[in-house]
Structure 1
Amino acid sequence: MIDLETAESRALDAAEDLFYRRGVHAVAEEARTHKEGFRRILRELSAAAGHGDDVAEQSLLLAEGAIVTAAITGNADTAHQARAAAAKLLN
């Protein structure tokens, strides 16, 4: 099982290190690279399930919205809400 507190701490340490050693542009580039990797994974999963890139893009928006909302509100239930929305999208 993943220890979310430890994972969050490591992610924050890595982001801080990236920002202070290489600057804000490096942080933006790292985020862009991560998001493109996530998009690629969703496209592969969507294709494997017989859906197109449109479903992958919609799923990406749901996931990103849930991540941002959870970060702002501190409520991880947004992941469950996004999953329910994705299930409706696929039906």
Structure 2
Amino acid sequence: MHSCTTSTTDRPTDPWPSSSTAPTSAPRCGSSRCCRWPLLVLHGTHDVSAPLETTGRRASALAPDATLKVYENAGHGLFVTHAEQLTADLREFVTR
């Protein structure tokens, strides 16, 4: 039987190195069976509160079946500034 473990010290790359809102642990195992669902990461290139390189790209790299959608010139409020494209991307993702 395969099971995932949770470790706070076993992470090779910590996606939340100093954030006070960071999870205290992350599921880790040597198999993609730990992540059972596709992951959609949506991120703007001009998000100053959560920069693309240190959040969106890292988050999408953690899951084997992740899709990263990058919105050019978008900040943190995609649901306001890019509502139509965001809705289209969400619909496409949930119907695939």
Q: TM-score, normalised by structure 2?
A: 0.25
Using CA pairs under 8 Å that are at least 6 residues apart, name the structure with larger relative contact order, 1 or 2.
Answer: 2
Q: Indicate the structure with greater helix content.
A: 1
Q: Indicate the structure with greater strand content.
A: 2
Q: TM-score, normalised by structure 1?
A: 0.26
